[in-house]
């Protein structure tokens, strides 16, 4: 099975209507797959790339939010979760991903999220080989 990597975290891919998508299966965090797939599917967060490229405060859809950390976020816990999954430091340039159906938010560095978008968009532009 094909996957994308964030440090030691392998994110499995699944076939999607316009090309591969994150499968959303463990170990992929639900908010991460919702944001990436929502953006790449063209249905949600149309301004996400602009937000990430400029470092803006937030991109919000009715179901999914990509925002800079709020004061009430437990950054220590979120950063520890990121490090335990990826083996990488989160740094200070981060976003917290949330969905309306998953209670646990997910912290991700801005450049890592942008990299995932770029990798999947690159795969959508190329015809699949057999």
Residue-level pLDDT at 25: 85
pLDDT exceeds cutoff 60 at 80: yes
State how far Cα 62 lies from the chain centre. 17
* In a domain? residue 130: no
Nearest alpha-carbon partner for 67 in 47, 79, 50, 51: 51
Q: What is the pairing mode between strands 58-60 and 64-67?
A: antiparallel
Q: Which pTM value belongs to this model? A: 0.89
* In a domain? residue 17: yes
Q: How far apart are CA 45 and CA 48, in angstroms?
A: 5
pLDDT bracket for residue 130 (50, 70, 90): very low
Q: For the residues 71-95, what does the mean pLDDT come to? A: 97
Count of domains forming the chain:
1
Q: How far apart are CA 53 and CA 103, in angstroms?
A: 27
- For Cα atoms 119, 61, 47, give the angle at the middle one, nearest 5 degrees: 50
* In a domain? residue 108: yes
* In a domain? residue 95: yes
Nearest alpha-carbon partner for 97 in 120, 63, 71: 63
* In a domain? residue 115: yes
Average confidence score pLDDT of the chain? 88
Q: For the residues 16-22, what does the mean pLDDT come to? A: 84
pLDDT exceeds cutoff 70 at 127: no
* In a domain? residue 29: yes
Q: What is the pLDDT of residues 42-52, one digit of tens each?
A: 767 788 999 99
Nearest alpha-carbon partner for 109 in 91, 124, 125, 126: 91
Domain containing residue 95:
3-125
* In a domain? residue 68: yes
């Amino acid at each position: 099975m094909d996957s994308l990597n964030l440090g030691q975290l392998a994110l499995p891919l699944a076939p999607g209507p316009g090309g591969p998508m994150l499968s959303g299966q463990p170990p992929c965090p639900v908010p991460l797959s919702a944001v990436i797939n929502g953006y790449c599917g063209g249905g949600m967060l149309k301004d996400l790339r602009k937000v990430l490229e400029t470092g803006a405060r937030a991109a919000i859809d009715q179901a999914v939010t990509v925002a800079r950390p709020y004061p009430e976020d437990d950054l220590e816990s979120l950063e520890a979760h990121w490090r335990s999954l990826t083996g990488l430091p989160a740094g200070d340039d981060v976003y917290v991903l949330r969905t309306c159906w998953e209670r646990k938010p997910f912290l991700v560095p801005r450049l890592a999220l942008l990299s995932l978008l770029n990798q999947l968009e690159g795969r959508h532009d190329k015809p699949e080989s057999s």
